[in-house]
Structure 1
Amino acid sequence: MASVMTEADLRARISAFLAEHDPAAAAGGGDADRLAFLRARFDAGLAWVHFPTGLGGLGAGRSLQPVADDAFAAAGAPDNRPGRIGIGLGMAAPTILVHGSSEQRERFLRPLWTGEEVWCQLFSEPGAGSDLAGLGTRARRDGDDWVLDGQKVWTSMAHVARWAILLARTDPDVPKHAGLSYFVLDMTAPGVEVRPLRQLTGEAEFNEVYLTGARIPDTQRLGDVGDGWKVAQTTLMNERVSIGGGALPREGGMIGVLAAAWRSDPGARTPGMHDTVMRLWVRAEAARLTAMRVRQQLAAGAPGPDGSAVKLSFATLNQQISAAELDLLGDEGLRRDSWAMGRPEEVDFTGRDAGYRYLRAKGNSIEGGTSEVLRNIIAERVLGLPAEPRVDTRVAWKDLPR
């Protein structure tokens, strides 16, 4: 029987690694030094410690991941810019781990974790957002390749992405959930066009992506043909946990920003605002502890529908907290540095100024599954309430009205 790695074992491995690889030199050096350090950390199994040996991990329990991350942060080691590669870390990597071949895991996971290759997600379409299974992007087999035609939308980071996880229809003659397949798309391939979408914040973090005769080798398919919906469930469940269930310290995230503003301005501490801040603080702490419990479920396998509740809470709280911050700051909260359309290279929920946070939080109830859809999932799969009537699950996709 294999021995179970303890926290002491992991800390000893980290100490030995840091003795051989100077974190200060890597953090203070150039890009080559930083990348060399991250590659060495991955090869030592200290990237995702819960992943298998040889794939950036040690086969340890997921509960030890914060131990590794905190130890490297305390040592001043460079990170892999998680705000830039969050889609790869939170969605692509767990899907490749579960459904990818050994060749796919070895090819994609290392440069994904080190940040050498940015990923995006090509799921939603203009006519298939909440009803994702109704998507119409077609993938037609042509020898050893698949040829794609269609349009994707709301694609964060597509303008800097090297790879995309993509869901496409490979069989229109069967019901919509059964005719999908899951692919990895090279975003630099001919026939892939990325166009910016200007958002409420004035920036273009989102994109729309047009696919015109784009080719994908069959070796870049994840799962069996027609099994795309099953593979996508792994992505979607992990997406909701990665968006709403990230590991945070007490007063981390949006509530920490509000609490700091509250403490810095005694004149704004009216009885009504005091009550608002305290209620939001308690709810944020309850949500943080719930997210911790949901992350622990990952140690036993894929996350379940509970992740939908975590993501729903994240969206609702962010919007309420950012609104309270504007109330607290008054006119000052409306200031913005610039309304010029930028093309950010990182997803940032809490940075910049209060006005940005208020506007950006509006997207939290859409991205990663709309709040309305998440409430249905919670009702049906967590609370066991009757499902909504569905009349299109036994009809061939080609026969559905659009």
Structure 2
Amino acid sequence: MNFDDTPQEAKFRSEVRSWIAANAPKELESELKEASLGRIKLKSGDVLQLSKEWQKKKAKGGWACLQWPKEYGGRGSTPIERVIWQQEEGIYNKLGAPFLIGQGMCGPVLMTYANDDVKKRYLPPLASGDEIWCQLFSEPSAGSDVAGLRTRAEKDGNDWIVNGQKIWTSGAHYSDYGLLVVRTDPNVPKHQGLSMFFLDMKSPGVEIRPIKQASGASEFNEVYFTNVRIPDKQRLGNVGEGWNVALTTLMNERYAIGSGVATGFPEIFDYCNSLMTEDGPAIDDRAVRSKLATWATRTSGLKYTTYRTISALSRGERPGPENSIGKLVAGSMLQEIATFALDLQGAAGVLVDNDQKEVAGQFQKMVLSSPSSRIAGGTDEVMRNIIAERVLGLPGDIRVDKDVPFNKIPTKGRA
């Protein structure tokens, strides 16, 4: 690993710092510092609107979606320049949360499979934040096993008629467009009968129902499709090859999520240094220090794993499935840290007090929302399989339904 910038990278970093210093919304700095772990709530105004304003300013300055070609709203930068931008943007990167799925996952799929007219129409407003995209994959009976989905599309002239349901769709309630994977042929094995489309989320027959979470937030949604008509020109890839298109999305998802999952370690470290317990400062307790040491070690491992990815990008290489390591480790750490923080707070940890300091109250929110980080973008079990099979080269899981036509797979009991 090489931790030093090349002369060209150092020059680029200097340019980035100058632009951010002159243009960043510094009036939001203190609130963004307190808005930890991706859960942003600003008193200064509507988060979505403020995020769009920052994204639009970046787009006008030529700093949106750096790695995209200029004709699609990007800058034509190298992958390592994108990493440098993310490092220097710092806390203001939190305002990019509404665009993560569209720019990190949907955009690369459009760039790979859409024709030039579609790219020119949809990519620039996606890059500038004028339009937001979501990803319609998971279903009630097809979460970790996305290929087991049952939402169907039937051809009708030059259109497709879609019926079914998706669930856990992040940001569907404020998205303009979405990537949708559906079953177009139930007579072939499940991975071979899928096709990918994109659609307007305001299309007739689309119903979005936000899911109320235990934390009080509604980040996920159920999405129902009733005779939704999608033109065939909005298909991405060939009919029946939707799984290959989906893999492009999922690879980008692993990279986008794996390199940016919060762990909660900075928050718990600062908290333990300031917390007074009945026995004195929490940091003086051996058990507390042992926990912190364990999490510090894991955080260091994640840091250097990320550096390996950065070094690979600097050499022009493409990161592989090892990005699943980041999500697996960070997701479990987040939940462990949240639970430990509430244990330290004792009975006070279950109270909701508007006058309670943000640093203490945030752990209540964290413990309620942290389980989602171990599910969204692939469960822990999926991540372990990816790491085992594609990183460590271990034998693959036995998949008894791999070559069975989808409509012959038993749905109840045993065959």
TM-score class normalised by the smaller sequence? 0.7 to 0.9
Query: How far apart in 2 are the matches of 1:158 and 1:337?
Result: 31
> Deviation string for 1:262-294 (max 9, x for gaps)?
111252221111111121122122113213433
> Deviation string for 1:123-169 (max 9, x for gaps)?
11111112111111111122222211001111121111111111101
**Matched residue SS, 2:131:** coil
Higher alpha-carbon deviation: 280-289 or 90-99 = 90-99
CA pair 329-201 structure 1, distance change in 2 beyond 3 A: same
Structure 1 residue 357 corresponds to structure 2 residue 366: yes
Q: 1:261-300, aligned counterparts within 5 Å?
A: 261-265=271-275, 267-269=281-283, 270-294=285-309, 297=312, 300=316
- Aligned pair partner of 2:211 in 190, 197, 200: 197
Q: 1:195 offset after TM fit, Å?
A: 1.3
- Aligned pair partner of 2:269 in 243, 254, 259: 259
* Alpha carbons 1:334, 1:354 under 8 Å: kept: no
Structural RMSD (CA): 3.3
Q: Which residue of 1 aligns with 2:141?
A: 127
Q: Which residue of 2 aligns with 1:241?
A: 255
* Alpha carbons 1:51, 1:60 under 8 Å: kept: yes
Higher alpha-carbon deviation: 125-134 or 325-334 = 325-334
Q: Percent identity?
A: 40
**TM-score using structure 2 length:** 0.80
Q: 1:1-400, aligned counterparts within 5 Å?
A: 6-7=8-9, 10=12, 23=23, 38-39=55-56, 41-42=58-59, 45-69=62-86, 81-246=95-260, 253-265=263-275, 267-269=281-283, 270-294=285-309, 297=312, 300=316, 303-336=319-352, 353-400=362-409
Letter in 1 for 2:77: A
CA pair 99-304 structure 1, distance change in 2 beyond 3 A: farther
Query: How far apart in 2 are the matches of 1:15 and 1:244?
Result: 25
Q: 1:393 offset after TM fit, Å?
A: 1.7
CA pair 214-306 structure 1, distance change in 2 beyond 3 A: same
- Matched pairs, number: 379
Query: How far apart in 2 are the matches of 1:142 and 1:93?
Result: 28
Q: 1:261 offset after TM fit, Å?
A: 0.2
Query: How far apart in 2 are the matches of 1:33 and 1:358?
Result: 27
> Deviation string for 1:32-80 (max 9, x for gaps)?
9996874464366422222223223333321112433455669xxx768
Letter in 2 for 1:283: R
* Alpha carbons 1:149, 1:211 under 8 Å: kept: yes
Letter in 2 for 1:265: L
CA pair 105-383 structure 1, distance change in 2 beyond 3 A: same
Letter in 2 for 1:241: Y
* Alpha carbons 1:237, 1:308 under 8 Å: kept: no
Gaps of 5+ in 2: 1-5, 29-44
**Matched residue SS, 1:177:** helix
**Matched residue SS, 1:127:** coil
Query: How far apart in 1 are the matches of 2:190 and 2:164?
Result: 16
Query: How far apart in 2 are the matches of 1:357 and 1:304?
Result: 30
CA pair 25-228 structure 1, distance change in 2 beyond 3 A: closer
> Deviation string for 1:213-271 (max 9, x for gaps)?
11222222222221111111121122122223128xxxx75111111101112522211
Query: How far apart in 2 are the matches of 1:44 and 1:121?
Result: 28
Q: Which residue of 2 aligns with 1:341?
A: none
Gaps of 5+ in 1: 339-349
Query: How far apart in 1 are the matches of 2:274 and 2:53?
Result: 42
**Matched residue SS, 2:70:** coil
**Matched residue SS, 1:147:** strand
> Deviation string for 1:316-374 (max 9, x for gaps)?
11111212222233333323369xxxxxxxxxxx9962111012111222111111122
Letter in 1 for 2:267: V
**Matched residue SS, 1:230:** helix
